[in-house]
Amino acid sequence: MKNALLSGLVIGIFSGLWLLIMYKAGYNLEDSKASPYEYISVLIPIVGLLIAIKDYRDNYLGGKMGFLEALVQSFKILIFGGILAVFAAIVFINYVSSGNNFEEFSGRMFGALLVGVISAFGVSLLYATNSEKVD
């Protein structure tokens, strides 16, 4: 659980920082169109999960991990990171970017959820070592 909390916090903090960097760089986040640089944010959960699940497998499980173990750990990490990222988005909407942009951010948060779920499945398949064990 400690690994999931720490990794989720790192993913959430980087997601919040990326939101602030995009705003400070002058990209219009209130628009429903995503800028090309906004797609770089997809790398945050992917890279975070790759590092966290490999660390969990190697340091906590002795190098052996089933698919469901990896998937559950990935979802724990994404839940912690998602809570922090949504909190950062709410603070951003209310205090930094004043305007009626809740609909655009809810669409972006749904997209982040979808990227996280797909990443969790991919990383779990990549790092599962016990192919005959279903858990």
Nearest to 4 by CA among 46, 63, 53: 53
CA geometry: angle 91, 8, 11, nearest 5 deg: 65
Mean pLDDT estimate for the chain: 84
Number of alpha helices (DSSP H) and beta strands (DSSP E) in the chain: 4, 0
Whether 55 maps to a domain, the answer reads yes
CA geometry: angle 62, 68, 69, nearest 5 deg: 30
Whether 25 maps to a domain, the answer reads no
Tokens encoding 134 = 């279903």
Tokens encoding 31 = 């628009």
Q: Which domain holds residue 106?
A: 2-14+42-127
6-56, pLDDT tens digit by residue? 999 999 999 889 888 887 887 766 666 666 777 888 899 999 999 999 999
Whether 36 maps to a domain, the answer reads no
Structural domain tally of the chain?
Answer: 1
pTM: 0.85
Query: Once rounded to an integer, what is the mean pLDDT over residues 70-82?
Result: 94
Q: What is the predicted pLDDT for the residue at 2?
A: 83
